[in-house]
Structure 1
Amino acid sequence: MKNPSLYVAAAAAVSLASVLAMPAHAADEAAGAQAQSWELSAGASITSDYMFDGISQTDSNPAVQGYLEATFGMFYAGIWASNVNFLDEADVEVDYYGGVRREYGKLSVDLGILYYAYYERPAAPYDAVEILLKTSYALTDKVTVTGNIGYVPEWADVADDYFGMDAGIEWAFYDKWSASANVGASLVGVSGSDYIWWNAGVSWTPFENVTLDVRYWDNDIASANCAIADTCDARIVATLSVDFSLTDLLHPDSAPVAAKY
């Protein structure tokens, strides 16, 4: 699996780089013509369970998370952190990331690279580097579809390449309410390790930049194949998050808050 996946990822990155370099639509060009400036955004959330690809990262316990992100034009870089619990003294996950975001009319493209670091773990690390491509397309002013693909070369815990992919849809059905669903696949070059996950939920934004999300998560992993008991079980997760622009606090009427990676 290693060599073919590496060739695919490299080809995709080269092709996307060419696309990102192409001129965007007239509206995007007009916006780009304006003087660029640094923007700084931040956010925090509390969740009943930190879920990643359909598996609990906190042994079914709550998590407190936060991020800080700087953008300049189409470029961005940031840091995101959360508590974790893998029953082996890995207590904190910190993600360092950066990349390029562009919009072409109704299409948004984001090509980034992430470094996942896990602290307080004395044994072999989970640390990994991921190349991540995220896309979204506005079908209407209320319906948006998304597609993401990630590639991790030589993932330490399985000593093989990892591919993650997912597709989703979001519907803003009433003022401050929206519903969304996602389905994804995690593909690892180890027999019996591949699985499919999915989620569906509703989000409510009672105040600007404050969101409450309630979501059902599940996957097709058999209990016997779950690395940590119960972390692969189906569950309902509630998350309260707040996002704000530090730039706006210093300079009102500036650009809106950037999306966390």
Structure 2
Amino acid sequence: MSVASAADLGYPEAAVIESAPSPIDVAFGVKFTTDYVFRGVTQSKGDPAIQGYAELQAFDWVYAGIWSSSVNGFATDPAAEVDFYAGLRHTWDAFTLDVGGLYYYYPGEEGPKRFQLDYWEIYAKPSYAFGNFGSITGNVYWTSDFVNTGADGTYLSAIAKVNLPLETIPDVSFYVSGELGKQWIGKTDNKYGNVNLVNYLTWNAGIGATYKAATLEFRYSDSDLSRNDCAINNGARWVCGDRYMVSLSFDTAFSKLK
């Protein structure tokens, strides 16, 4: 019997009690991209990649997750990149602070362990939202063992996002965003011959459209690394330079599924 028919029969109407939102949630998503570029360097040999993640969120403060992507072109030929991460994230009005750490794991690598790629970073990511206009985010990442080379590494960047006031299609929103960053890398240890790796600037810019849980995006990425500098840092000249990517992603959470 429906609620309407019950009311018609004169039964007392049940009170509607809204339950409090759960303090625990799980966010998850998947992404298809024509190229996986990380800090100005392709991780998929310029080929398409598929990526996905799942993140446990608790009490609007604590989170832990796993993110993975297909990769290609590495000398050690790993099966994938798998990132494990955890931290604290909280929002006060328009300001959000996110601090934590992550571990980059490359399963199935070939060759001696000392030349494999697994390493860790810690990070802080403050951000400020300007209402519906957009947001600005800062990023700082640090490690004492950049890509298992024994070198210190610091990455600092700023990301700006502007929401475009276009309402041509119902439930579709548009945005532009860009990032400017710098990667500092110290001297490698003896296993790499005490090589001075090259510090560099990297940048990217893109435009995207979102519809409910889906996002379609076009993005350009580049750096100021020369071909020779690229070979020093990455062992190949062709992995740097300008890149153009198209991606389609889907992101949601258990709390949004109804």
Bucket of the pairwise TM-score, normalised by the shorter protein = 0.7 to 0.9
- CA displacement 1:50-109 (0-9 Å, x = unmatched): 111111011111100000111111100110101112143122010011111011221110
Tell whether the 8 Å contact from 1:59 to 1:228 is kept in structure 2 after alignment. no
1:201 aligns with 2:206: yes
Question: Distance in 2 between the 1:142 and 1:129 partners?
Answer: 35
Question: Distance in 2 between the 1:233 and 1:133 partners?
Answer: 27
Deviation at 1:133, TM superposition (A): 0.7
- Structure 2 residue aligned with 1:179: 176
TM-score by length of 1: 0.78
- Structure 1 residue aligned with 2:109: 121
Percent of residue pairs bearing the same amino acid type: 31
- Structure 1 residue aligned with 2:62: 75
Cα distance change of structure 1 residues 99 and 229 upon mapping to structure 2, 3 Å threshold? same
Question: Distance in 2 between the 1:160 and 1:183 partners?
Answer: 23
* 3-state SS in 2 of match to 1:64: strand
- Structure 2 residue aligned with 1:233: 241
Tell whether the 8 Å contact from 1:54 to 1:219 is kept in structure 2 after alignment. yes
- Structure 1 residue aligned with 2:27: 41
Deviation at 1:154, TM superposition (A): 2.1
- Structure 2 residue aligned with 1:167: 158
Deviation at 1:143, TM superposition (A): 2.5
* 3-state SS in 2 of match to 1:71: strand
* 3-state SS in 2 of match to 1:90: coil
* 3-state SS in 1 of match to 2:145: strand
* 3-state SS in 2 of match to 1:225: helix
Deviation at 1:235, TM superposition (A): 1.4
* 3-state SS in 1 of match to 2:29: strand
- Structure 1 residue aligned with 2:134: 143
Query: Cα RMSD between the aligned structures?
Result: 1.6
Question: Distance in 2 between the 1:71 and 1:95 partners?
Answer: 17
Mind listing any 5+ residue stretches in structure 2 that lack a counterpart?
A: 1-19, 167-172, 188-195
195-204 or 151-160: which moved more? 151-160
- Structure 2 residue aligned with 1:222: 226
Tell whether the 8 Å contact from 2:83 to 2:102 is kept in structure 1 after alignment. yes
Larger of the two Rg values belongs to structure: 2
Question: Distance in 2 between the 1:88 and 1:60 partners?
Answer: 17
Q: Counterpart amino acid of 1:111?
A: V
Tell whether the 8 Å contact from 2:144 to 2:152 is kept in structure 1 after alignment. yes
Deviation at 1:248, TM superposition (A): 3.5
Deviation at 1:224, TM superposition (A): 1.4
Cα distance change of structure 1 residues 208 and 66 upon mapping to structure 2, 3 Å threshold? same
1:95-106 → structure 2 map (5 Å cutoff): 95-106=83-94
TM-score by length of 2: 0.79
Mind listing any 5+ residue stretches in structure 1 that lack a counterpart?
A: 1-33, 253-261
* 3-state SS in 1 of match to 2:66: strand
